[in-house]
Chain A
Amino acid sequence: MHWPIDLIVLTFVIFCAIAAISVKDLLATAILFGAYSFMMCLLWTIMGAVDVAFTEASVGAGVSTVFFVAAIFRTSRRTKD
Chain B
Amino acid sequence: MKFLGFIVVCLTGALLLYGTGEFPDWGDPNSPASLHLSDYYIENAVDQTKVPNLVTAVLADYRGFDTMFETSVIFCAGLACFLLLRDFREKKERFYRHVPTGVILHVKSGKKVLKTGKEFEHMDKDWVPSDLIIKTVCRILIPFIQIYALYVVAHGDFSPGGGFQGGVIFGSSLILLAISYDLKTLVKRIKEKVLGIYAALGVLIYVGIAAICMPMGGRFLDYAALAPLVWDPHHVRALGMLGVEIGVGMAVTAVMAIIYINIVSEGRHDEGL
Contact = CB atoms under 8 A, between A and B. Distances in A.
Establish whether A and B are touching in the complex (CB under 8 Å).
yes
Interface of A: 50-51, 53-55, 58-59, 62-63, 66-67, 69-71, 73-74
A51 B273 contact: no
B172 A58 contact: yes
A63 B171 contact: yes
Nearest to A73: B273
A55 B165 contact: yes
Contact of B263 (A50, A58, A74): A74
Contacts of B179: 66
Given A51-B55, A54-B161, A66 B168 contact: no
Contact of A69 (B168, B169, B273): B273
Prevailing SS type, chain A contact patch: helix
A28 B172 CA distance: 21
A73 B264 contact: yes
B160 A51 contact: yes
Interface string B10-31: 0000000000000000000000
Contacts of A62: 168-169, 172
Interface residues of B, number: 22
Prevailing SS type, chain B contact patch: helix
B172 A70 contact: no
B273 A63 contact: no
A74 B160 contact: no
Interface of B: 53, 55-56, 160-162, 164-165, 168-169, 171-172, 175, 179, 256, 259-260, 263-264, 266, 272-273
A50 B161 CA distance: 9
Given A67-B259, A70-B260, A51 B162 contact: yes
Nearest to B169: A58
A67 B256 CA distance: 9
Given A71-B263, A74-B266, A66 B161 contact: no
Contacts of A63: 168, 171-172, 175, 256, 260
A51 B56 CA distance: 9
Contacts of B165: 51, 54-55, 58
B172 A67 contact: no
Contacts of B260: 63, 66-67, 70
A66 B179 CA distance: 10
Contacts of B56: 51
Nearest to A1: B27
Nearest to A71: B263
Q: Most chain-A Cβ atoms within 10 A of its Cβ — which of B168, B260, B273?
A: B168
Contacts of A70: 260, 263-264, 272-273
Contacts of B53: 51
25 contacts: A50-B160, A51-B53, A51-B160, A51-B161, A51-B165, A54-B160, A55-B164, A58-B169, A59-B168, A62-B168, A62-B169, A63-B172, A63-B260, A66-B179, A67-B260, A67-B263, A69-B273, A70-B260, A70-B263, A70-B264, A70-B272, A71-B263, A73-B273, A74-B264, A74-B266
B172 A66 contact: yes
